[in-house]
A and B are shown apart, each in its own frame.
Chain A
Amino acid sequence: NFMLTQPHSVSESPGKTITISCTRNSGSIATNYVQWCQQRPGSAPTTVIYEDDQRPSGVPDRFSGSIDTSSNSASLTISGLKTEDEADYYCQSYDSTNVVFGGGTKLTVL
């Protein structure tokens, strides 16, 4: 089984840009798609990025995703931060038999 490692928490000011990383410890990050979901306090998760860099309809283009094979990691970038972006963010990927979520990153917008 592989693991996805995320920073436990990040913080930034409104209007700024932040990037959350998700590092895969074995196997290539490029082999299987990476998804990102947002979970606001007390709410269910919602997908903000799927298939590495695709946004579901209704997700603002302030959210973008990418992968970097040199660091074997995926990244979620949120630009023009708003207080409503304050939430937990989880990356997720898979291989032939396992589905793995990262441990989650708490984003504070202050």
Chain B
Amino acid sequence: EVQLVESGGVAVQPGGSLRLSCAASGFTFDDYTMHWVRQPPGKGLEWVSLITWNGVSRHYRDSVEGRFTISRDNSKNSLYLQMTNLRTEDTAFYYCVKDVGGNWNYVFDSWGQGTLVTVSS
């Protein structure tokens, strides 16, 4: 059974930094593209970032480009999101999401339970 467990969400001030982690199990992690998807409380879903199976290709939504960095450690079955220069509009639940394939793709098939990031002064 696929399991994705996020951690690292906390309250932080605007301009601050944070690193989210996602521990994956139940599948061959280094075969699959992984994503971060976020959801502001009470609102809809927004895709944030993608990293292909080998970490070579990465893609970001425009509003986080240059501030967020996605990475992965296939030896630890882990996905990360380094978030810097945080803004109040980054406040959201952040979900780690598995893709059905390993390349540049946007087909989500498994989700974690989410971790809440709150950016507020």
B45 touches A90 (CB 8 A): yes
Q: Of the 9-residue stretches A21-29, A66-74, A99-107, which lies at the interface with chain B?
A: A99-107
Closest Cβ neighbor of A90 among chain B residues = B45
* Residue from the list B39, B61, B110 in contact with A56, Cβ < 8 A: B110
Q: Is A33 an interface residue (CB 8 A)?
A: yes
Inter-subunit contact B45/A50 (CB<8 Å): no
Q: Inside 8 A of A56's CB, which chain B residues have their CB? A: 109-110
Report how far A93 CA is from B78 CA in the complex, Å.
26
Instruction: Collect the chain A residues with CB atoms within 8 Å of residue B45's CB.
Output: 37, 45, 90, 92, 101, 104
CB distance from B117 to the nearest CB of A (A): 15
Residue of B nearest to A34 (CB): B107
Q: Give the chain B neighbours of A35 by CB distance below 8 A.
A: 107-108
Q: Which of B19-73 contact A (CB under 8 A)?
A: 37, 39, 44-47, 61
Instruction: Count how many chain A residues have C-beta atoms less than 8 Å from C-beta atoms of the other chain.
Output: 21
Whether a CB of chain A sits under 8 angstroms from the CB of B80 is no
Which residues of A, 20-60, contact B by the 8 Å Cβ criterion? 32-33, 35, 37, 43-47, 50-51, 56
Asked if B83 is at the interface (CB within 8 A of a chain A CB), the reply is no
B46, B61, B111: which contacts A45 (Cβ < 8 A)?
Answer: B111
Q: Which residues of B contact A104 (CB under 8 A)?
A: 44-45
CB neighbours of B110 from chain A (8 A): 47, 56
Pick the 7 closest A-B CB pairs, nearest first: A99-B47, A94-B106, A101-B45, A44-B113, A99-B106, A44-B114, A47-B109
State the A residues within 8 Å of B (CB).
32-33, 35, 37, 43-47, 50-51, 56, 90, 92-94, 99, 101-104
Extra A-B contacts (17), CB below 8 Å, given A46-B111, A101-B44: A32-B106, A44-B95, A44-B111, A45-B37, A45-B39, A45-B111, A47-B108, A47-B109, A47-B110, A50-B109, A90-B44, A90-B45, A92-B108, A99-B47, A99-B61, A99-B106, A104-B45
